[in-house]
Amino acid sequence: MTTLALFSKPNNPHAWGVLNEIVSWAQLKGLRVLVGPDKGGWDGKNWSSELIESARQEADIAIAIGGDGTLLGVARNLFGWGKPILGVNLGTLGFLTDVAAKDIERMLDAIQAGEYTVEDRILLEAGLDGEESRGLAFNDVVFTNGGFGRLAQFDVFVDEQPVFSLRADGLIITTPTGSTAYALSANGPILHPSLAAIALVPLNPHSLTARPISLPSSVKVEVVVRGTVESRVVCDGQPYGGPLTDGTRVHVSQGATTVKMLHLKDYNLFKTLQQKLNWSSPRER
């Protein structure tokens, strides 16, 4: 029997309603479901430890009910456990959440029939010199100026080779998954999810020539903080470490594990981009 772990968007009655609808449909179709206690298992800061642990140990598929932020949170809790994640979209754009709430029954039929594909997507790992803990990012590792309204300065190296010295509001190091998120707003490239690639995207650089750079994901990036402006590192919106001062070195490389994204058979990346970014669709060939 296929076991589904359900994670709903926190503090969102609509998401709880969709969760209950999925539970009802799943039970009718003979699927086992794992859900948290009251209100989707949210304890104020994270989903309940019971739900997370049962998802890690027992689930075949995790379903995130909400927007891309909800799916990122689910992925963060399941890093390294190899659980395919499917998103039900209740948000606006929803690049990562493929399935509309109105298509729940069709989604469950497809899962029951095995009519889906699973796609491996890379992670980024960030580490500070001298620190054992690591930050993991499914979307991006972002260096910011700490919100003080002053330009930060960074020296950037790739595989120990100098690339550029940057004065900017920040620097985004993005995965293909994150290339349609914050990096897109900073005029970064859209990377196909199947690519083993990352991109360095300057954030409001004080330069007319600073451009995004696409790189193979096998490279090791080192960012050295310069100057008197404190900077910070944020992994998928979660702070990593404390304030960074002059001379602090941060290493970013591809993580050792991947996130498994589940798509129904009719998923089409370019159709998603057309819909979400309002691209005009070409005439049929």
Lookup result for tokens 């100026």: 145
**Tokens 């009719």 sit at which residue?**
266
Q: Is 68 noted as a catalytic residue in this protein? A: yes
- Which residue in the block uniquely carries the two structure tokens 């702070």? 239
User: Annotated catalytic residue: which of 38, 43, 68, 140?
Assistant: 68
Active site members: 68
